[in-house]
Chains A and B, each alone.
Chain A
C-alpha cells in the first residue's frame, strides 16, 4: 500500500506536504496497538496536523467527526497525520521519539527536508521507498495540475472529474479555495489529502482557467 509515495508537484509545493504514518506489524506488535495509535492521533492534534485519518475505518466525514476517528481506532489500523510545514513535522517527530510507542513510523515528503528533521529529532533513517515515476500509457493521463491534486489521495479516490468541477466552482466564486479543498478531502478515506496544499493548487488552477 504505497498510497503516499507518488505525490506529484513542484519542490515549492511539496515543501508544504508531509504525511506521517503509524502502523503495527501483523502478528508481531499489532496486539493492543490501538491505545498507542490513539496516542499518535493526540500528538498529531497537539502539533497542529492539517488532517488526521485512518485507512481502516475512514476519514472524519465517513466516521462522523474528528473525535470518532480518534476514539474508534482499532488494533491493526494504518493511521496518518498530515503536516503543512517542516517545523510541524519536526515537532511531531520529536514528540514521537519522546513517546517511544514502539510502532513503525514512516514519513512521506521531500527526502532532504524529512531527513533534516530526522537528524534534528535524533532519529535514524532505516529504510526508504523511492518513486521511479509513471510508465506505460502516460499520454492518457490528465494534465499535471490535476495529477498534483489527484495523487494526494494515492488510492485515486479524488477523481479527475471532481478536481475539474471543484476548480470550476472556485473560478466561478461558488466555493472558496479552502471550501473546495475540504470538498476534495471527503473521498480520501485515509485522510492523507492535504487540504492546505490543495487550496493553493485550486487557487492556481482557477487563475489559469
Chain B
C-alpha cells in the first residue's frame, strides 16, 4: 500500500488503522514503510482518507504473499476460501480430516498483533517437520515451501512480512508430548509470537482424547474455543 504525498493533507487519520504500525507522519504527510507494510488493505478500506491519497500499488512476487497472508478478502487458490487457513476442524464431520487417535495442530504465527517474517514461520515448520508430519496441502503456506518434507520455504519468501501464517498438520496422539517439547523450544528462538491450536474428535463418551497429554505437559487450555456441533453432511450418493 502507498500514500500519494501530493494528495496527502497530513491529517493522520489513517495511522491508527494500520495493524502493524507501518504508517507514520513525516513533514510531507503520512508515509507507509514498505518494509513493514503487510498489504492487508485495512488503511485503504477503512481509514476513509479525505483526499483519497491511499492507493494499492502493483504487487509483484514475492511481495504478493503479503497480501495473500494478510488481506482477509484474498481467496487462496489452494483452499478456495478467504483468509489464510483451511476448513480444518470446521467441517470435520463431513471430511473426516481428523479421526480417532489423531490431533489437528495449527501454529498461528504472528497472531495476535505482531505479524511475522516468513523466516520465523520456516523456523517453526522445520522444527515440527522433524516429527515427520505432512503439512496440510490446502493451506497456502504449504505451496510456499520448496521442501515440504523438511518444512523449508522458498528462499525469496523468507524476508517477507505477513500478518499471520498458519502452520497446519496432523499428529498421532502419542506424538503430542514430543510436539509440545519442540514447540516450547522453538518458541524461544523466534522474534514474534504464535497462538497454538489443538483440535480433536470428541470420544463417544464425551471425553476429549488430547486432555491427558495437555495435562501431562503442564499446559493451560483456554476455557473458550470452537465446537463443531455435527450438523454438516455429504450429499446422498457422495463418496464421503
With beta carbons under 8 angstroms apart, the residue of B219, B225, B228 that contacts A105 is: B228
B232 within 8 A of A: yes
* 26 A/B residue pairs, CB under 8 Å, sorted by A: A1-B86, A5-B225, A23-B90, A25-B95, A25-B234, A76-B80, A104-B87, A104-B92, A106-B226, A106-B227, A107-B226, A109-B224, A110-B224, A115-B227, A125-B228, A127-B89, A127-B227, A128-B225, A131-B197, A132-B221, A134-B193, A136-B188, A137-B193, A138-B193, A156-B19, A164-B16
Complex CA distance for A77 and B165, rounded to whole angstroms? 21
CA distance A146 to B228 in the complex (A): 28
B132 within 8 A of A: no
What chain B residues lie within 8 Å of A141 (beta carbons)? Answer: 112-114, 193
CB-contact partner of B112 in A24, A112, A147, A164, under 8 A: A147
Complex: how many Å from CA A3 to CA B214? 22
Q: A24-B91, A130-B197, A160-B21 are in contact. List 12 more A-B contacts (CB 8 A).
A: A23-B91, A28-B91, A29-B232, A111-B227, A123-B230, A126-B92, A126-B229, A131-B197, A140-B193, A150-B112, A156-B112, A162-B16
Say yes or no: B113 contacts A150, CB within 8 Å.
Answer: yes
B231 touches A102 (CB 8 A): yes
Instruction: Contacts A127-B200, A140-B114 given; indicate if A187 touches B45 (C-beta within 8 A).
Output: yes
Q: Are B198 and A114 in contact (CB under 8 A)?
A: no
A151 touches B112 (CB 8 A): yes
With a cutoff of 8 Å between Cβ atoms, the chain A residues found around residue B202 in the complex are 125-128
Flag B74-98 by CB within 8 Å of A: 1 or 0 each: 0100011111111111111111001
Inter-chain contacts of B230 with A (CB < 8 A): 123-126
Q: Are A127 and B80 in contact (CB under 8 A)?
A: no
Rounded to whole Å, the gap between the CB of B186 and the closest CB of chain A is 9
* A26-B80, A93-B229, A161-B17 given; A128·B89 CB < 8 A: yes
- Provide the bound-state CA to CA distance between A56 and B233, in Å: 22
Flag if A3 contacts B83 (CB, 8 Å).
Answer: yes
Task: Report the 7 A-B pairs with minimum CB-CB distance, sorted nearest first.
Answer: A1-B85, A104-B232, A161-B16, A126-B230, A1-B83, A131-B222, A25-B91
**Residues in A whose Cβ lies below 8 Å from that of B111:** 6, 154, 156
Using Cβ atoms and an 8 Å threshold, which residues of chain A touch B220?
A: 132-133
Interchain CB contact (< 8 A) of B195 among A6, A102, A110: A6
Indicate the size class of the contact surface on chain B.
35 or more
Query: Residues on A close to B: CB < 8 A?
Result: 1-7, 11, 14, 17, 21, 23-26, 28-29, 55-58, 62, 76, 78, 93, 96-97, 100-112, 114-115, 118, 123-138, 140-142, 147, 150-151, 154-157, 159-162, 164-165, 186-187, 189-190
**B190–A136 contact, CB under 8 A?**
yes
Q: How far is the CA of A32 from the CA of B206 in the complex (A)?
A: 33
Taking a contact as CB atoms closer than 8 A, the residue among A1, A105, A154 that contacts B232 in the complex is: A105
Residues of A within 8 A of B85 (CB): 1-3
Cβ of B140 to closest chain A Cβ, rounded Å: 11
The answer for the CA separation of A105 and B91 in the assembled complex, in Å, is 8
* Residue pair B16, A26 in contact (C-beta under 8 Å): no
Q: Which residues of A contact B231 (CB under 8 A)?
A: 96-97, 100-105, 123
CA distance A110 to B81 in the complex (A): 26
Question: Does chain A have a CB within 8 A of B131?
Answer: no
B230 to chain A, nearest CB (A): 4
**Counting CB contacts under 8 A, is B49 at the interface?**
no
